[in-house]
């Protein structure tokens, strides 16, 4: 096991990374001094792992398992309310704890419920997807989607621990696994050129789920995110760089009603679109943009967007929560390992990027 710390003073917490961690009671015990524990999971993950997790809980804890429907389409206020209704019905209190056992949807729903119940209770993240282990489980962003925009309703609420068990990938479908690789690639683009080069050299090993390669990729991704979150917890400045590719990606997800693309797939396409726009604006050289696209493809991810009109995309991007006073705010690359956040966007260049389709980065 390896551990990365998110340094936030009194609210600091560990990210434990390793194999077989879901069964290690000693990782849970320090955060569960007693009382009720609600495990929130979904109908896919629950039958696979909920019983094992219950068995790992300290003997002095009583527990409930809350199973929600599986999928991004169910990251809604209705499912958030279902969690709260169980907590109220079963008379949970401020000493109670929640555990998120699932991917990013379950983590975001559980964290938002924890943030709101009795004005805030503790929760533990046990992410079961690669994407959640390297991204959504770390940093305290919680929330739900709305038909008019992704993650527009939520709160910052840090977990008290993240337990990233790489053995859980054994039951993770290939498409879901590849979606997590998109967020790993993002960290190389925004913060670490040498890590990006390592990903280029080890793309095949990662796709084959080589455990040694995965451990390195997960650890480095978590280190980068922990550094950024510690410096800017509430995204007033630096943390915005973590949104590279996401404004494009969230618009793709919204316009396809969360039914066509997985989040990581939308982010992968968004990273390529952001690289293409960076070239058009004279910020990034064409060869670097081609490297970003090539890595996306090597990791088994889509690089070309579905057929959506540029005008519809621009409208959806304008509704993104990162827009400032009606102005689009984008994270764009200046070189591999470095990005900037800017509101100075040439509308014609953006239109051409959005209209490029499979000709992106050519």
Write out the catalytic residue numbers: 119, 141, 183, 225, 235, 239, 243, 246, 250, 263
Is the dihedral angle over the CA atoms 11, 16, 22, 25 positive or is it negative? negative
HSE on the CB side for 71, CA within 13 Å?
9
DSSP helix/strand/coil, 34: coil
Q: How many CB atoms lie within 10 A of CB 119?
A: 7
Burial class (CB in 10 A: 0-12, 13-18, 19+), 137: buried
Question: What's the rounded Cα separation, in Å, for the pair 330 and 50?
Answer: 39
Question: What's the rounded Cα separation, in Å, for the pair 253 and 237?
Answer: 25
Q: How many CB atoms lie within 10 A of CB 237?
A: 10
Q: Which of 44, 129, 112, 50 is nearest to 75 (CA)?
A: 112
Question: What's the rounded Cα separation, in Å, for the pair 14 and 27?
Answer: 10
DSSP structure class, residue 3:
E
Question: What's the rounded Cα separation, in Å, for the pair 182 and 295?
Answer: 9
Q: What share of the chain is helix, strand, coil (3-state, %, to 5)?
A: 55, 20, 30
317: its two tokens = 């991007």
Q: Are 184 and 164 in contact (CB under 8 A)?
A: no
């Amino acid at each position: 096991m390896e551990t990365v710390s998110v340094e936030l003073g009194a609210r600091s917490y560990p990210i434990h990374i390793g194999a077989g961690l879901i069964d290690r009671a000693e990782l849970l015990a320090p955060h569960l001094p007693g009382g009720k524990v609600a495990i929130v999971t979904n109908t896919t993950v629950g039958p696979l792992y909920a019983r094992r997790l219950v068995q790992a809980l300290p003997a002095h804890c009583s527990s409930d398992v809350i199973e929600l429907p599986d999928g991004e389409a169910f990251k809604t206020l209705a499912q958030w309310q279902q969690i709260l209704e169980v907590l109220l019905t079963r008379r949970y209190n401020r000493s109670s704890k929640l555990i998120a056992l699932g991917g990013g949807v379950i983590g975001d729903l559980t964290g938002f419920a924890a943030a709101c119940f009795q004005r805030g209770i503790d929760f533990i993240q046990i992410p079961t997807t690669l994407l959640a282990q390297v991204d959504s489980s770390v940093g305290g962003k919680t929330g739900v989607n709305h038909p008019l925009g992704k993650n527009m309703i939520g709160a910052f609420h840090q977990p008290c621990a993240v337990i990233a068990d790489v053995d859980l990938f054994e039951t993770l479908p290939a498409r879901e696994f590849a979606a997590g690789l998109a967020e790993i690639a993002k960290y190389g683009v925004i913060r670490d050129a040498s890590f990006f080069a390592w990903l280029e050299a080890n793309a095949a090993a990662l796709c084959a789920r080589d455990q040694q390669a995965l451990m390195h990729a997960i650890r480095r991704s978590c280190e980068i995110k922990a550094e950024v979150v510690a410096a800017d917890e509430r995204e007033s400045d630096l943390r915005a760089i973590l949104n590279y590719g996401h404004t494009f990606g969230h618009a793709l997800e919204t316009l396809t009603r969360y039914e066509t693309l997985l989040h990581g797939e939308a982010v992968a396409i968004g990273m390529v679109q952001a690289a293409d726009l960076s070239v058009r604006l004279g910020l990034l050289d064409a060869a670097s943009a081609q490297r970003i696209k090539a890595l996306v493809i090597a990791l088994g991810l889509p690089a070309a967007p579905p057929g959506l009109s540029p005008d519809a995309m621009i409208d959806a991007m304008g509704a993104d929560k990162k827009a400032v006073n009606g102005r689009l705010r984008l994270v764009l690359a200046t070189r591999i390992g470095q990005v900037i956040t800017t509101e100075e966007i040439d509308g014609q260049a953006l239109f051409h990027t959005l209209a490029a389709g499979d000709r992106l980065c050519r």
